[in-house]
């Protein structure tokens, strides 16, 4: 039987934000060390086991507005290889406290090596659509209530206008007016044909979230009829389900992560997960090639700093993991491209929502305006 007091070279290090003053912040951080490991009182374990099992407070520093950043290190052998294990160690019990924010986390290389991350990454997505030096454009099949034929016609206009990626709206599942199999087959066929006609492919990501057996069946069917990507919502299905889809060698399709229901985990500035962790690090670790989240300045609460932190979490070097491409949405018009591109850079996707369909000149013309503006911004 292994001795839990033996040393471990694998560590998970988490950053938390907690309330001050310093004495209170230290007490909270020490409580996190217990809550995220033994979740019990000190006298239930002998000192030798406590020193081995408990999280270790490595640092505490003020970060302004009466808040402190606590750095806590956990042994890698406290968890298995699942996303659920990771989330439980990072924030399982502390998520109930209401005064703790999980800001970020890192792993030692040995621990990170068991995670494959994105199969394609930014470079793979770019090469798949033949666009290597500019932000990509994504069209969204919506609104809910349109028939399969109408959505396929919309997809054709998107490709003709010049989008690089088309995704289902997350509300599209298996409604009677647009059954999953009929809708996905029609849209995949139209998108492939329109892409050949224009001389450049367009990726199609149908929404496959559901119970595991349903999701796996939908994903397999989608690939069979020509879908070239998969859209999943880990807030609804779990990050382990996202990871299972991304690592499935029988599918081998790029995966886009949709934030539906994830926003409930962010909460307010005094609790929950920071956007960098929730929209950036976790989807990347679970294998998302694209992570979708709100742009700053949209109808959703997202600051410029938070928006950039998500992008950085997906794009910065992280061991052997490929990068995840950030995709921002929120009724973005061409007038916002320069403002959004300045801090975010080229390696990103602009998600163009329903606003496109209201342009008086039509969808094709509206998308071409986006391309002209991008050409000016990135000349």
Q: Kindly list the structural domains of the chain, giving each domain's residue range(s) and its CATH number in brackets, ordered by start.
A: 11-112 (3.30.70.150), 121-377 (3.20.20.110)
Identify whether the C-beta of residue 68 lies closer than 8 Å to the C-beta of residue 60. Answer: yes
3-state secondary structure of 311: helix
The pLDDT score that the predictor gives to residue 250 is 97
Going from the C-alpha of 169 to that of each of 85, 145, 269, the distances in angstroms are 30, 11, 29
pLDDT band at 4 (very low <50, low <70, confident <90, very high): low
Q: What is the pLDDT of residues 272-319, one digit of tens each?
A: 999 999 999 999 999 999 999 999 999 888 999 999 999 999 999 999
- In 3D space, the residue among 86, 64, 83 whose CA is nearest the CA of residue 14 turns out to be 86
Q: Which residue has the higher pLDDT, 269 or 228?
A: 228
User: Mean of the pLDDT values across residues 205-214?
Assistant: 96
**Residue 215: both structure tokens together:** 């999701």
CA torsion, points 205, 136, 258, 80, in degrees to nearest 10? 90
CB atoms within 10 A of CB 81: 11
The pLDDT score that the predictor gives to residue 110 is 93
Identify whether the C-beta of residue 195 lies closer than 8 Å to the C-beta of residue 201. Answer: yes
The pLDDT score that the predictor gives to residue 269 is 63
Candidate from 41-45, 132-136, 373-377 with smallest mean pLDDT: 41-45
The pLDDT score that the predictor gives to residue 290 is 98
The pLDDT score that the predictor gives to residue 271 is 82
d(CA 180, CA 224): 13
d(CA 305, CA 321): 24
User: Mean of the pLDDT values across residues 50-69?
Assistant: 90
Going from the C-alpha of 379 to that of each of 338, 346, 371, 373, 375, the distances in angstroms are 12, 11, 12, 10, 6
Q: What percent of the chain is modeled with pLDDT above 90?
A: 84
The pLDDT score that the predictor gives to residue 8 is 63
**Residue 369: both structure tokens together:** 């305006």
Exposure class string for 99-135: b at 16+ Cβ within 10 A, else e:
ebbbbbbbbbeebbeebebbbbbbeebbebbebeebb
Is pLDDT of 257 > 50? Answer: yes
The pLDDT score that the predictor gives to residue 1 is 42
d(CA 6, CA 49): 10
Is pLDDT of 152 > 50? Answer: yes
């Amino acid at each position: 039987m292994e001795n839990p007091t033996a040393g471990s070279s694998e560590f998970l290090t988490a950053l938390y934000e907690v309330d001050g003053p310093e004495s209170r912040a230290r007490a909270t951080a020490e409580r996190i060390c217990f809550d995220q490991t033994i979740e019990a009182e000190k006298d239930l374990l002998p000192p030798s086991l406590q020193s081995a099992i408990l999280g270790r407070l490595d640092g505490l520093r003020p970060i302004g507005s009466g808040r402190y950043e606590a750095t806590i290190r956990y042994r890698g052998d406290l968890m298995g290889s699942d996303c659920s294990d990771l989330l439980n160690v990072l924030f399982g019990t502390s998520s109930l406290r209401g005064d703790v924010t999980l800001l970020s986390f890192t792993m030692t290389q040995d621990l990170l090596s068991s995670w494959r991350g994105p199969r394609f990454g930014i470079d793979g997505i770019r090469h798949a659509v033949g666009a290597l030096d500019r932000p990509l454009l994504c069209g969204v099949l919506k609104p809910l209530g349109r028939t399969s034929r109408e959505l396929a016609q919309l997809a054709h206009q998107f490709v003709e206008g010049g989008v690089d990626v088309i995704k289902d709206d997350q509300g599209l599942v298996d409604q009677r007016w647009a059954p999953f199999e009929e809708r996905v087959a029609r849209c995949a066929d139209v998108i492939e044909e329109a892409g050949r006609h224009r001389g450049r492919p367009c990726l199609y990501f149908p929404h496959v979230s559901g119970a595991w057996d349903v999701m796996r069946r939908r994903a397999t069917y989608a690939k069979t009829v020509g879908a070239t990507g998969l859209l999943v919502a880990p807030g609804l299905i779990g990050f382990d389900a996202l990871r299972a889809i991304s690592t499935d060698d029988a599918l081998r399709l790029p995966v886009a992560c949709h934030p539906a229901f994830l926003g409930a985990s962010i909460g307010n500035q005094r609790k929950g997960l920071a956007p960098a962790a929730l929209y950036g690090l976790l989807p990347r670790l679970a294998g998302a090639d694209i992570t979708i989240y709100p742009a700053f300045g949209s109808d959703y609460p997202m600051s410029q700093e938070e928006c950039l932190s998500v992008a950085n979490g997906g794009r910065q070097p992280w061991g052997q993991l490929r990068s995840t491409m950030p995709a921002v949405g929120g009724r973005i018009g061409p007038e916002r491209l320069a403002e959004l591109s300045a801090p975010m850079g080229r390696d990103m996707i602009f998600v163009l929502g329903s606003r496109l369909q209201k342009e008086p000149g039509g969808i094709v013309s509206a998308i071409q305006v986006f391309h002209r503006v991008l050409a000016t911004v990135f000349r």
